[in-house]
A and B are shown apart, each in its own frame.
Chain A
Amino acid sequence: MQRYSGFGLARHALSHHENWQRMWRNPTPKKAYDAIIVGGGGHGLATAYYLAKEHGITNVAVLEKGWLGGGNTARNTTIVRSNYLWDEAAALYEHSLKLWEGLSQDLNCNVMFSQRGVLNLGHTLQDMRDIQRRVHANRLNGIDSQVLDAQQVKEIVPILDCSSDRRYPVMGASWQPRAGVARHDAVAWGFARAADAMGVDLLQQTEVNGMRIEDGQIVGVETNRGFIGAKTVGCVTAGNSSVVAKQAGLLLPLESHPLQALVSEPLKPILDTVVMSNHVHGYISQSDKGDLVIGAGIDGYNGYGQRGSYPTIEHTLQAIVEMFPIFSRVRMNRQWGGIVDTCPDACPILSETDVKGLFFNCGWGTGGFKATPGSGHVFAWTLAKGHAHPLAKPFSINRFVTGQLIDEHGAAGVAH
């Protein structure tokens, strides 16, 4: 792998950038692999990377029906945080956050992880109770998290309207300084390049359209490029997980919904942290390019169309203008949608299935991006060992039968 560095950049400039290598090969599929990852998004690529790096399993293919990182990886608002309420979720996301903290160096690709802090605003007494509960839990779980009052919030984000005459005045917030944002595309490309360098085959334009199962054991997948064999198959197809599961005759506790986001035109730096409000339903940060990146809530209907309904956008911008009245004349440049597969308890599934050798990693809902390295790390372990990583165990599909849900919808149900 060609190392990236400032020095290397200068050297390439002298040779007119004519000697850069491919970031990844464009290989021909082999007949069989030790493991197949279905889905070449951030989570799938991270899984392949950690399979190769941590477990020495390099005879691996990642099958991607479109282009690498082209699903929700490319469509999210890039917020990374770990201040979840329940122990199981907090442990998983904190594991991920720790991986984020060294990821650029680990991958030798700057994923621009910017630890600028995330504020979750509270606007009602119940919001504040929920925030206190979550922050207490975070602290005892070893996660940096504080409760701020309205005055402290104002000091961090002076342009936020904290006046008492708003419809829902800001009463306070939770604050996680280590949280932040990252450059989403670079995450996918970084994992892809590093996985490829260790021998993983990244097969783009390769769509899985069937699963071959013999005696309850997966033996491979049918694709538009023919059958590819493997006795370990991990499906990491956010948004489309139900569709892939159906090919193996499985039903999942998922609904796929449109999730919309939008950006403003690029502006000079004006907002230095991430601000989220569940109560008024808006969250916002500013990208390094200068765009205000704004997320909306999910649309209520099932949808695979990568677009949602206009009122959702309208409500989101009403929330943004309510929180930041100075943005009224800032203009929305572009909106888009992703497909999020949501679980009833707003927590993911990292699980074995009834088919031996077939594993699913899905159901991240609106919050998958932040988990990318952690999800890949524990899922790789799960595929390598054939059973769930300790951090993944609580996220078994079986919880929907036993009732042992991890209900992040509940008190701390901060979305995204």
Chain B
Amino acid sequence: MTQPNRLAQGGRVNRDRPLSFVFNGETYQGYEGDTLASALLANAVSVVNRSFKYARPRGIVAAGAEEPNAVVQLGASEAAQTPNVRATQQALYDGLVASSTNGWPNVQRDVMGLFGKVAGKMMPPGFYNKTFMAPASMWMTYEKLIRKAAGLGRSPREQDPDRYEHFHRHCDVLVIGAGPAGLVAASVAANSGARVILCDEQEQMGGCLLSTTETLNGKPANQWLSETLDHLAANPDVLLLPRTTANGYHDHNFVTLHERVAEHLGDTAPEGMARSRMHQVRAKRVVLSTGSHERPLVYANNDVPGNFVSGAISSYIHRYGVVPGNQLVVMTANDQGYRCAIDWYDAGRNVVAIVDARPDADGHWVKQAEERGLRILKGQVVFDTKGTKAVQGAWVSAWNAERFALTGEAQLLECDAIASSGGFSPVVHLAAHTGARPVWRDDIQGFVPAAVKGQLPTGGCNGVYPLHQVLADALDTGITAALDCGYEASRFILPEVDDLVESAPLALFEIPHTKATMRAPYQFVDLQNDVTAAAIELATREGFESIEHVKRYTAMGFGTDQGKLGNINGMAITARRLGQTIPETGTTVFRPNYTPVPFGAIAGPHRRELFDPKRYTALHSWHEQRGATFEDVGLWKRPWYYPIGNESMHDAVSRECLAVRNKVGILDASTLGKIDIQGKDAREFLGRVYTNKWEKLGIGKARYGLMCKDDGMVTDDGVTTCLGDQHFLMTTTTGGAAAILEWLELWHQTEWPELEVYFNSVTDHWATITITGPNSRALLREITDIDLDRDKFKFMEWRQGTVAGVPARVYRISFTGELSYEINVQADFAMHVWQTLFEYENKYGLTPYGTETMHVLRAEKGFIIVGQDTDGSVTPEDLGMQWCIGYDKPFSWIGKRALSRPDTSRRDRKQLVGLKPLKDDVVLEEGAQIVLDPNQPIPMRMVGHVTSSYFSPTLNHGFALALLMDGHNRMGEIVFMPMPDGQVHEAEVVGTVFYDSKGDRQNV
């Protein structure tokens, strides 16, 4: 297989390692060291895509991150599909499969291209806002067609087989960009003793040194480059990260780097290797040596394949040994264009002409071109391109810069490639991510970074272009970085570089045409989004005067290249139309990412099992073995119910409920939050944060407490026990544990630091095993030395002793209404105690139950679940829990004052009641809304909702708790719950306690 555009020698590719790849179904060959773009150009593939809006044929124009056209779909298998890969940044690997993202049936003959030709004129910016409005009912159909026509690549349909890693790093100096500036700055900082990270987005470090003909110390640049890299690599305090793009610059010098670890190796990463890696770097100083992007010029049909930015051609020649054509016309407004022409000529191909918009350039490179006898057309411009799928010629004319008009006769120069150069734009993106607006500099006709603390732009990024000046600037920057980080700057000898005289560049962005902008052929500004000079002119005509408006109206810069090539040209064109300067017009805002980053890389390993931690109790494995179904409660996995065989949830829960009511049940309650509270003011503190009183709670006693925020709304509840006069154990809801601890600390630290009190979370230290039911005392008696006599160990008390031979705190409290003991043991004894209890399983009918049964049993007793029966708008009074409110406590506890506000003191607030469905077999739906008149029209007046609802196997009917407007005064009334299927459930308003209303069973 031949590669017609590959030079016999030269470039940094390995001709001994040919690689085979497929593009749009054709097999081609490239070499190791190629990018997909260089390999395509070597094979003279000129049309690589179709454009977004007009479906015009498009070719490669650039050689790096700024490429707008060569966006391809990558991947040989479905799972490895990767959309929108820039061919200029994708290293070639053997077996690579890629295709164009647009073009049907193919990019050469695209049906949409015809449509684009015919209807293109109908698609000025914002056309979709101006039409598709009638008839209104058709919009969703129109939209489907619009959506189909849009988009670039496609998402894979299968799961990504690869994994991604995260690294967190700290360093003194992060250097972004390993061109000459970055290498010098990194070397100086590293030699001075600083810890340095040097990253570069390309396959090889070196930046422009990889494609320059300039010499360093009289030798080819490559020599100095490899010596410098070797020296850096040998320093243990230097981390070199090639293939690593700094994508986001965040506050306080926090930079995210995306390292493409395996993207150059194949469709999927080799075994044991991540596909890519995010480094999150915190640096004391960040050196921005990101260089500059060359701007193409805006002229008619400048999108025809074969149009390049001039520097890209030099890169393809020097780095890949590829010359993308035979006959070159260069259009330039600076000396860069001459370098491109010289490289082309030296590669053995023909330069048709160098067209220089300036009348009188005479710098070093101009002289070099003249020495080679190249034809130079001064004071002339290329204003149009001949050809559709490939460049066939360039239309050239003399012009008058002041009048911005062509003068004289147009002539056609036949050629197959056009290189254009409008000057350079510093890559200021990262410097602007934290909000600083770049600053315009007239002398370089470009924006440079504004001063930001900790940020050190240097070299091209700082608007310094000649190599010898770049090196000197970077030396200063390296020294500053080292000093700023507290190191003494070391000596560094810069390589000798010729000071080449460059002629002054001309500020040139767009080129006039023989026709007015609106009537001329398309003059593209943003190639990826098909934004033309005419589109920008139209936007300003329609009153869009802010550059942000122009951007949004035309979509300029919204592409995956984010306008790296086109934005400055667009700003200049906007400025001209508005009669403003470029700095008056300003830039749009730069945002991360610099180049796109896979979602998977940002998500990193935090997926599936690692998406969120799972918290297990010490008894989890037992629950699993017993076949429990689990419920997520916060991070915890809690047994929901324990089905036996094919038992349904309803049957399992009924069985578990009856076991508790008739025999004894066992619950793993370890997830309850537990906070150990000590200090001489602990009691006082409790009195302030709980609604009820604590001053008289004696040692050995326990009490239920309710907690509000200072707005009077219930936020948590639980039982707190007095372990010693200055020592309490607070329990919280499972979900509220962490927040309540922080809440207590907040009040202590910020409001009442004078109180001596200490808090410590002991949730994980203690396992809590609840045994509940009439048999619980007899069961516990089998294995404890605590005296369980009903009068010696009363309800709402706790005792210290041993259970199953291990030390335990046993609390006689009840969340089921039955005689209950909560056995608290050190978590690592939990399994032992649990299993010991189960030795008596058959003797006492011990039955494990889960959270669902717990909910049924507590609801039968009218015990609330904070967060289910309350929602952040419920006061203790709404719950009818006045018995738990210490109105006369001396300290105005948290939440008290708020209860007397006009709204909270209303008598007809929503209040917690019980609902008994009129039909016994009806179980109301939780969340069902309550109305007083089911026959009223919609919208109905709703007066409350069902918060908890279950079937009670004990009572043999459904029952519910509800928040009901003025509910406490509606006892005995019938209320209605209209359901989606037209049924209306009816229920009687009753008290909240459905079972054992006197509380005898827990007191036995």
Contact = CB atoms under 8 A, between A and B. Distances in A.
Direct A–B contact in the complex, CB atoms closer than 8 angstroms: yes
Interface of A: 4-6, 8-10, 12-13, 16-18, 20-26, 66-68, 70, 74, 87, 91, 102, 104-105, 108-116, 123-126, 129-137, 139-142, 146, 159, 165-168, 183, 185-186, 189-190, 204, 264-270, 280, 286, 288-290, 305-307, 309-310, 313-314, 317-318, 320-322, 325-336, 399, 401-405, 407, 409-411, 413
A8 B130 contact: yes
A243 B225 CA distance: 54
Nearest to B131: A6
Interface string B149-185: 0111111111110100000000000000000000000
Interface in B827-845: none
Contact of A405 (B127, B128, B147, B873): B873
Contact of A336 (B519, B542, B591): B591
A358 B265 CA distance: 65
Q: Which of A24, A305, A325, A329 has the most CB of B within 10 A?
A: A329
Interface string B863-899: 0000110011100000000000000000000000010
B152 A290 contact: yes
Contact of B131 (A4, A268, A327): A4
B902 A402 contact: yes
Interface string B894-926: 000010011110000000000000000000011
A9 B548 CA distance: 24
Contact of B599 (A12, A309, A332): A332
Given A133-B926, A137-B929, A403-B903, A265 B596 contact: yes
A10 B871 CA distance: 57
A326 B148 CA distance: 20
Nearest to A332: B597
Contacts of A409: 872
B518 A18 contact: yes
Nearest to A289: B150
Interface stretch (B351-359, B388-396, B603-611, B792-800): B603-611
A123 B474 CA distance: 54
Contacts of A23: 542-544
A244 to B, nearest CB: 21
Nearest to A115: B140
Contact-size category for B: 35 or more
Interface string B789-827: 000000000000000000000000000000000000000
Nearest to B609: A167
Interface in B579-620: 589, 591-593, 596-600, 602-604, 606-609, 611-612, 614
Interface of B: 52, 80-84, 121-122, 124, 126-134, 136, 139-140, 143, 146-148, 150-160, 162, 248, 250-251, 254, 256, 280, 433-435, 518-519, 534, 538, 541-546, 548-549, 552-553, 555, 558, 560, 562, 589, 591-593, 596-600, 602-604, 606-609, 611-612, 614, 631-633, 711-712, 867-868, 871-873, 898, 901-904, 925-929, 931, 938-940, 942, 945, 978, 980
B602 A332 contact: yes
Nearest to B865: A126
27 contacts: A5-B133, A9-B131, A12-B124, A13-B121, A25-B543, A68-B549, A74-B552, A87-B942, A105-B136, A110-B128, A133-B929, A142-B939, A165-B608, A270-B155, A288-B150, A309-B251, A310-B256, A317-B599, A322-B608, A325-B159, A326-B160, A327-B599, A329-B83, A331-B83, A336-B589, A402-B902, A404-B902
Given A87-B942, A123-B632, A332-B596, A22 B541 contact: yes
Contacts, number: 327
Given A332-B602, A403-B904, 17 more contacts: A5-B134, A17-B124, A18-B541, A67-B546, A110-B128, A112-B128, A126-B868, A133-B929, A159-B157, A167-B614, A204-B545, A204-B546, A265-B84, A314-B604, A321-B607, A329-B80, A336-B591
A332 B121 CA distance: 32
B681 to A, nearest CB: 30
B27 to A, nearest CB: 24
Contacts of B614: 167
Contacts of B553: 185
Given A132-B925, A140-B940, A403-B904, A114 B434 contact: no
Contact of A112 (B129, B152, B606): B129
Contact of B938 (A4, A140, A204, A399): A140
B939 A141 contact: yes
A314 to B, nearest CB: 6
A26 B549 CA distance: 14
Contact of B607 (A13, A125, A309, A325): A325
Contacts of A116: 140
B927 A136 contact: yes
Nearest to A161: B159
A126 B867 contact: yes
A257 B118 CA distance: 48
Given A336-B591, A402-B901, A326 B157 contact: yes
Contact of A265 (B134, B560, B871): B560
Given A5-B134, A110-B128, A335 B591 contact: yes
Contacts of A5: 130-131, 133-134
Contacts of B153: 265, 267-268
Given A269-B148, A310-B248, A326 B159 contact: yes
A333 B560 contact: yes
A407 B963 CA distance: 15
Nearest to B633: A124
Contacts of B126: 186
B602 to A, nearest CB: 4
A35 B591 CA distance: 37
B834 to A, nearest CB: 25
Given A110-B128, A140-B939, A309-B250, A318 B607 contact: yes
A83 B347 CA distance: 67
A202 to B, nearest CB: 9
A289 B157 contact: no
Contact of B632 (A109, A124, A306, A325): A124
